[in-house]
């Protein structure tokens, strides 16, 4: 999967670099690793190749290349696969493996959508990674190690990460208060451990190109991602994994969030300057 991602993605990047007379951007070296990590381990390689091509061409290059895209390219690849090949990307039978040392069965999210009282995987199993899921999303421990590296190196924003978990917890607690079904009554922190919530919060939502850039905007951006992810999961069973759609939706609104944050600061300073001049 990694080889297909890099061969197809970098091949297209090289073609665009030659046409535009500039160097190949190093940004795809990150995207090329993220795409396989958010896909099922048994996704057909030709589908992965199509998704990579779509993400690089439609998700990034048509807007001018790295730094000009407004959607996370890796999530564009995932969305392409999800809507183009839903049978291979969603449902209870996606993750069943007939051979090897893979874990057979539905993902925890699939079990909850199907009406289970709680996931078959324990909290410890979900933390360690002993459950079905996409390549990079199952082990919370591995994701937290990645989060620590990103925070120490200053690559990712702790404001976005923190606010995503706050938003997810808030929406989860609201559903707990309603308690209309088993899924709503599930402890809110289960949402952090199941599916791509943790991976999305650490590696996807913090993309410096597509996220909000103002400090206040980062809090708003992250909080809304957390809220929308849990809301989509619980309310719309057609999309058991709400993190992808939540991040893509807020990618679209990130510039608007920054605009209103900056505009509010300008108005506040203008009002303060007016009061000072009046004195």
Q: Is 91 exposed, middle or buried (0-12, 13-18, 19+ CB in 10 A)?
A: middle
- pLDDT given at position 89: 65
Give me the pLDDT at residue 42, please. Answer: 82
At 99 the pLDDT is 44
Query: What's the pTM?
Result: 0.86
Tokens, residue 61: 């290059």
The pLDDT, as a whole number, for residue 90 is 57
Low-confidence ranges of the chain (pLDDT < 50): 91-104
Position 275 scores a pLDDT of 74
What pLDDT was estimated at residue 153?
Answer: 92
Angle formed at CA 66 by CA 64 and CA 67, multiple of 5 degrees: 90
Residue environment code for 186-222, b if the CB has 16+ CB neighbours within 10 A, otherwise e: bebebbbbbbbbbbbbbbbbbbebbbbbbebbbbbbb
Q: What is the pLDDT of residues 149-172, one digit of tens each?
A: 999 999 999 999 999 999 999 999
What integer pLDDT is reported at residue 76 of this predicted model?
A: 93
């Amino acid at each position: 999967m990694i080889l297909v991602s890099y061969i197809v993605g970098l091949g297209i990047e090289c073609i665009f670099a030659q046409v535009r007379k500039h160097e190949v951007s190093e940004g795809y070296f990150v995207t090329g690793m993220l795409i396989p990590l958010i896909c099922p381990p048994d996704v057909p390689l030709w589908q992965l190749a199509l998704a990579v091509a779509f993400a690089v061409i439609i998700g990034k290059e048509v807007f001018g290349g790295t730094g000009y895209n407004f959607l996370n390219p890796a999530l564009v690849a995932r969305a392409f696969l999800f809507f183009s090949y839903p049978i291979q990307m969603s449902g209870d039978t996606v993750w069943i493996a007939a051979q090897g040392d893979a874990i057979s069965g539905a993902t925890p999210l699939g079990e909850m959508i199907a009406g289970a009282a709680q996931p078959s995987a324990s909290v410890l199993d979900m933390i360690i990674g002993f459950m079905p899921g996409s390549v990079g999303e199952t082990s919370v421990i591995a994701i937290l190690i990645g989060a620590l590296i990103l925070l120490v190196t200053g690559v990712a924003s702790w404001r976005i990460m923190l606010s995503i978990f706050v938003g997810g917890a808030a929406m989860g607690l609201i559903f707990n208060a309603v308690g209309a079904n088993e899924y709503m009554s599930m402890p809110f922190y289960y949402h952090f451990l199941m599916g791509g919530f943790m991976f999305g919060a650490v590696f996807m939502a913090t993309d410096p190109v597509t996220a909000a850039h103002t400090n206040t905007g980062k809090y708003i951006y992250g909080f809304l991602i957390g809220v929308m992810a849990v809301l989509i999961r619980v309310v719309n069973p057609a999309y058991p994994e709400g993190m992808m759609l939540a991040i893509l939706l807020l990618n679209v609104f990130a510039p608007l969030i920054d605009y209103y944050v900056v505009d509010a600061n300008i108005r506040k300073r203008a009002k303060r300057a007016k009061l000072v001049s009046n004195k």
